[in-house]
Amino acid sequence: MKNCAIVGINWGDEGKGRIVDLLCKEYDFVVRYQGGGNAGHTVVNELGKFALHLIPSGIFHKGVVNVLGNGVALDPQSLWEEIESVRSRGIEVTGENLKISDRASMLLPWHKELDALEEERLKHKKYGSTKQGIAPFYSDKYQKKTILVGELLHPKHLKEHIKDLLDWKNLTLTGVYNADPIKLEDLYAWFDEYAEKLRPFICDTGKLLKAAQKEDKKILFEAQLGSLRDLDYGIYPYTTSSNTLASYAPIGSGLGSTTMNEIIGIVKAYSTCVGEGPFVCEWFGEEADKLREVGQEYGAKTGRPRRVGPIDIVATRYGIEVQNATSIVITKLDVLSYMDKIPVCVKYELNGEQIDDFPFPVELADCKPVIEYLDGWKQDISGARKWEDLPVNARKYIEYIEEKVGCRVSIVSVGPERDSYIKR
Ligand code: GDP
């Protein structure tokens, strides 16, 4: 397939990075098209364990060109730290294998500060932001009050633009939040530093990808977070501030209305969620601690313990529908091996009625999970490499999910390592 998107079906952290790492050797380009450094993609390969935040997961493969598209929240500081950290472990990152769109907007120092100040103001009503500045960034982008990466190549124009923006932003910092203003000299120094560092990576990535398509090159689009965090279709306002859906990939990468030949949705074998907001299947106490421990469910960016629970068929079916996934991958099946019975949330109960369809976000707070149990397999499956290697009950679990969500399972992942998977 020429254009393939790898997307999250649930709340994020489904294991997209690991699947991109697995599949990208068959592709020429790996493109990030939305989001920023607010989530982490974990990749485990022969060089060790890497938590990527902005750099596309294709960076470990020679010959793959990694692109940060125009839809990304380009945080120069975090990106640079990440480039240095990856380089220090022997991975080559150059202007040849990493390209940054000149049309990507830059996440600026005040975005992180405003994110933290607003969460602080909201106190117990906070959104659970990772405080990476994503919400203030996207609101500024849509107000047309941020700076495009390409402007770094136009220093005279840039200076004036920075000054105008800072005059305006300091009004918010001082007037609304009573914080200290940012000094113009400090900001100029910050821009000088990152203009120098990022220059070799900047190009018109839309043009690059269009030319690649003409040459029949294969492009893999890597999404961040999942369907339920999509700004328009997720559990608003506990969403992120960008569109996490595959349908945004062409726009966020400069390819207009290109169609996806394949959309692979990543689903975890159970549910996890970071941050605030409704989470119908949530477990608490010992049961939750055990699953969190076995699954090592701690945020890749923040280290925060993730909220956990059984797989949620209602949310997963909805996530698949809005992504228009052509197949799904089930990750972390190995984690469930300790359970005698495997719980599955098959429906929600809302106001005394059982429902199959994912409700309006506000109603989620009143939904209760309706749970069915399947028999567990109680044996280590991390060495399984063929469908027949899986115990019957593990196969039944996969087939059950497949039937309930109405989408083919193409890969089952049984461990974080590159080869720990079963292709069906
Ligand atoms: P992403 O943001 O969707 O890429 O997901 P994260 O990287 O935040 O979280 C996925 C975590 O699960 C990472 O630590 C992966 O190494 C790990 N992982 C992925 N697939 C599997 C699997 O099949 N089994 C186990 N045990 N761990 C996995």
Separation of alpha carbons 179 and 214, rounded Å: 51
Separation of alpha carbons 148 and 188, rounded Å: 15
DSSP strand E in 194-313: where? 202-203, 219-226, 262-268, 271-273, 307-309, 311-312
Ligand 1 mean position to 417 CA, how many Å? Answer: 9
Tens-place pLDDT, residues 225-284: 999 999 999 999 999 999 999 999 999 999 988 889 999 999 999 999 988 899 999 999
Measured by CA distance, the residue closest to atom 18 of ligand 1 is: 416
* pLDDT higher than threshold 90 for residue 44: no
Reduced to 3 states (helix: H, G, I; strand: E, B; else coil), residue 164 is: helix
Residue range of the domain that includes 316: 271-324+333-423
Instruction: Please say which residue of 230, 245, 264 terminates a domain.
Output: 264
Same domain, 53 and 126: no
Separation of alpha carbons 109 and 173, rounded Å: 12
Q: Is 41 a catalytic residue?
A: yes
Separation of alpha carbons 34 and 150, rounded Å: 18
Q: Are 208 and 219 in contact (CB under 8 A)?
A: no
The two beta strands, 353-355 and 341-350, are antiparallel
Q: Is 13 a catalytic residue?
A: yes
| Cα-to-chain-centroid distance, residue 72 | 11
Question: What residue ranges line ligand 1, CB within 6 angstroms?
Answer: 8, 12-18, 39-42, 44, 300, 331-332, 334-335, 413-416
pLDDT for the residue 67 = 97
Domain CATH for 33: 3.40.440.10
Measured by CA distance, the residue closest to atom 28 of ligand 1 is: 416
Catalytic residue among 28, 41, 111, 312: 41
pLDDT for the residue 301 = 67
H or E element: which one contains 161?
Answer: helix 155-171
Instruction: Please say which residue of 158, 173, 198 terminates a domain.
Output: 198
Compute how many other C-beta atoms are within 10 angstroms of the C-beta atom of residue 303: 8
Domain CATH for 306: 3.90.170.10
* pLDDT higher than threshold 80 for residue 39: no
Instruction: Please say which residue of 218, 239, 264 terminates a domain.
Output: 264
pLDDT for the residue 45 = 85
Mutate to test the pocket of ligand 1, among 18, 132, 227, 291 (most ligand atoms within 8 A of CB): 18
H or E element: which one contains 160?
Answer: helix 155-171
Residue 399 binned pLDDT confidence (cut-offs 50, 70, 90): very high
Ligand 1 mean position to 280 CA, how many Å? Answer: 22
Q: Shortest CA distance to 262 belongs to which of 106, 91, 408?
A: 408
Q: Buried b / exposed e across 178-192, counting CB within 10 Å, b at 16+?
A: ebeebeeeebeebbe
Domain CATH for 171: 1.10.300.10
Atom of ligand 1 nearest to the CA of 415: 24
Ligand 1 mean position to 295 CA, how many Å? Answer: 9
Find the mean pLDDT for residues 143-153: 96
* pLDDT higher than threshold 90 for residue 402: yes
Atom of ligand 1 nearest to the CA of 331: 23
Cis peptide before 237 (omega within 30 of 0): yes
- The rounded percent of the chain whose pLDDT value lies above 70 is 99
Atom of ligand 1 nearest to the CA of 420: 23
Tens-place pLDDT, residues 162-211: 999 999 999 999 999 999 999 999 999 999 999 999 999 999 999 999 99
pLDDT for the residue 339 = 98
Q: Shortest CA distance to 360 belongs to which of 369, 370, 350?
A: 350
Same domain, 286 and 382: yes
